[in-house]
Every structure is written in structure tokens, then in C-alpha cells.
Amino acid sequence: MRKNTLFVAAAALFAALTFAVADENHEIIEKVMKEGMKGDESPLSKVIDGKATAEEITALGALVKTMHGTKAPKGDQAKYDAKVAELIAAMDAVAGGAKDAPAIERLDTAANCKACHTDHKPKD
């Protein structure tokens, strides 16, 4: 009987931790999307249009970096990690001073919503 109780307790703890990680990942990803990437007046849009201040670029770079280490909400984790890494690298390049057309195009491609949503966003 004691073994069953320990097993049930361990399973409940594992489930609670799994949901906590999933909630934290969701919150991080949602924050990056809403505060950094969504809309025509978003920091990302300003960066791509060349209208962002140095402070906005730095803040967006820091925000994007919070996605490092998050878990894919759905789909292949390695592909998700590669997309996040490319987004961070592209943002780092722009934040580091690369504001030429290839750097902006790289960022725009890395930040493509549909490319990530198709593979990794769960259906509501």
C-alpha cells in the first residue's frame, strides 16, 4: 500500500511540475509575441521599418532572448529550438549594429509568425 501511495504522490508531483513548466513557457512566449512582435506598431515592426530607437532595439533583443530554453508548445523540439536560436541571432545582429538590408531581411524572415505557428502553436 505504501508503494502505491508513493507512486501516486510522485506522479502528482511530476504532473504539477509539468503543468508549471508548460504555463511558464506559455507566458514567456505569449509575452514576447504580444509585447514585441504583434501589430504594425510593435517594436519588431519599428525595427524592420528602421524607425526603432536604440533603446527599443535593445529592449526587443532582451525580450526575444527570454524565449531561449522554452519548450515547444507542439511539434518537434529541435526545429523549435532552431527557430528560436535563429530569431535570437538575427535580433542580436541588428542590436549589434547590423542595420543593412540583409540583416533586416534575416530578422524579418526569422520573425515570420506563420512559419512558427504552423509547426508549434497548439490549436485552441
Work out how many domains the chain is built from and give that number.
1
Alpha carbon separation from 49 to 54, 62, 81, 115, 119 (Å, rounded): 13, 19, 27, 21, 27
Range of 76's domain? 2-120
This prediction has a pTM of 0.80
One-letter amino acid at 2 equals R
- pLDDT tens digits along 107-123: 999 999 888 889 998 88
Convert the pLDDT of each residue in 44-102 to its tens digit: 999 999 999 999 999 999 999 999 999 999 999 999 999 999 999 999 999 999 999 99
